[in-house]
Amino acid sequence: MTNTQTLIKTAKAMVANGKGLLAMDESNGTCNRRFANADISQTLEMRRAYRELLLTTPGLGDCISGVILYDETIRQAKDDGTPFIQVAQDANLLIGIKVDIGTQDLAAHPGEKVTEGLDGLRERLQAYFEMGARFAKWRSVIALDDIRLPSQSCIEANAHTLARYATLCQEAGLVPIVEPEVLMDGSHPLTRCQEATEAVLRSVFGQLTRQGVVLEAMILKPNVVVAGLGCPTQNTAQEVADATVQCLRRVVPAAVPGIAFLSGGQSGQLASSRLNAMHVGHDLPWPLSFSFGRALQHPALDIWAGHDANRVAAQQALVHRARCNCAALKGEYKTGMEAP
């Protein structure tokens, strides 16, 4: 099999069989912030113990096709010494790795960011491939407001960077997850998010095509189209699903083997119900799946709270959210599946 054929096979497998991805690739800074909010001590060992809890969840592989790890995590091991890479492979989970190194202020553009990490990326990708990773992730963030943002230059800088990352991934034998996230912060209405998301995705696909990315060998990880968190009008799951599917159908080529949403700060239940509504009565040219971080993990993190005694209950909460999202991919999620 050629490199491209292998990449296409991996990309398809990431969204096959009605499964999704578990994003557990929080940088140390983000992970520590979430630990602090849950009153968990922010140490290397606690981060390792938490990631062991997630990776060893019984039944995870029934709903999840792959996990996205962080550089610290991909090098870690279980308490008994089994490397996490081995644990994931034994559970039939594809291994992904976050390879961007975070965002910086975009010069001359107050309030906007560009994602860094291209320096030395070719060598880092090769090393991750040799460790067992088969896909990678790079997240760009686009801020939105009622009037000014996003600027065209911010959209273009991030699209260009995402495409450079994606070509390097494919060269190294890794499927790129291309993640341009239009943020939920702000008070803008849903229509504004739809316009911005469409503009961002048009620019991203323009750059991906121009720079020679094989569209059949990548996964798109977009935001759901929603009103800003501060907007007084919050839309129904049906309205969110209609706007999101319309936006994606207009700009994402059918050649792309799959789309896997980020959760972006939606609650677990909202994320599931919106995903469900997208799978009822819509004509979808690609598998539409999930690659959630918070919407899968948050209940589990709160239950665990850093205590070994809560481990099993936390794992049950994780697998429950994964099952809810798998049901959503079949249009079978009902709020009745949630605990009262």
Catalytic residues: 179, 221
> Residue 294 CB, nearest distance to ligand 13P (Å)?
3
**Under DSSP, is residue 156 helix (H, G, I), strand (E, B) or coil?**
helix
Residue closer to ligand 13P (CB basis): 173 or 264: 264
Query: Exactly one of 22, 295, 301, 327 binds ligand 13P (CB under 6 A); which one?
Result: 295
Cα radius of gyration (the chain): 19
How does 302-330 read in b/e, with b if 16+ C-beta sit within 10 Å? bbbeeeeebbeebbebbbbbbbbbbbbbe
Dist. CA 190–CA 197, nearest whole Å: 10
DSSP string for residues in 288-317: EEEEESHHHHHHHHHHHTT-GGGHHHHHHH
Query: Exactly one of 124, 134, 139, 188 binds ligand 13P (CB under 6 A); which one?
Result: 139
Query: Exactly one of 35, 70, 135, 292 binds ligand 13P (CB under 6 A); which one?
Result: 292
For ligand 13P (CB under 6 A), the number of binding residues is 10
Query: Exactly one of 140, 161, 263, 325 binds ligand 13P (CB under 6 A); which one?
Result: 263
Asked whether the beta carbons of 295 and 267 are under 8 A apart, the reply is yes
Q: Which stretch binds ligand 13P (CB under 6 A): 124-132, 238-246, 293-301, 323-331?
A: 293-301
Binding mask 93-132 for ligand 13P (x = CB under 6 A): ----------------------------------------
Nearest to 304 by CA among 292, 317, 295, 291: 317
> Hey, what are 112's tokens?
């906007």
Q: Which residues, numbered 151-180, are part of the site for ligand 13P (CB under 6 A)?
A: 179
DSSP string for residues in 313-339: HHHHHHHHHHHHHHHHHTT---GGGS-
> Residue 228 CB, nearest distance to ligand 13P (Å)?
15
Q: Is 51 in the site for ligand 13P (CB under 6 A)?
A: no
> Residue 81 CB, nearest distance to ligand 13P (Å)?
28
Dist. CA 163–CA 208, nearest whole Å: 5
Please report, as ranges, the residues that interact with ligand 13P according to CB under 6 A.
23, 139, 179, 262-264, 292-295
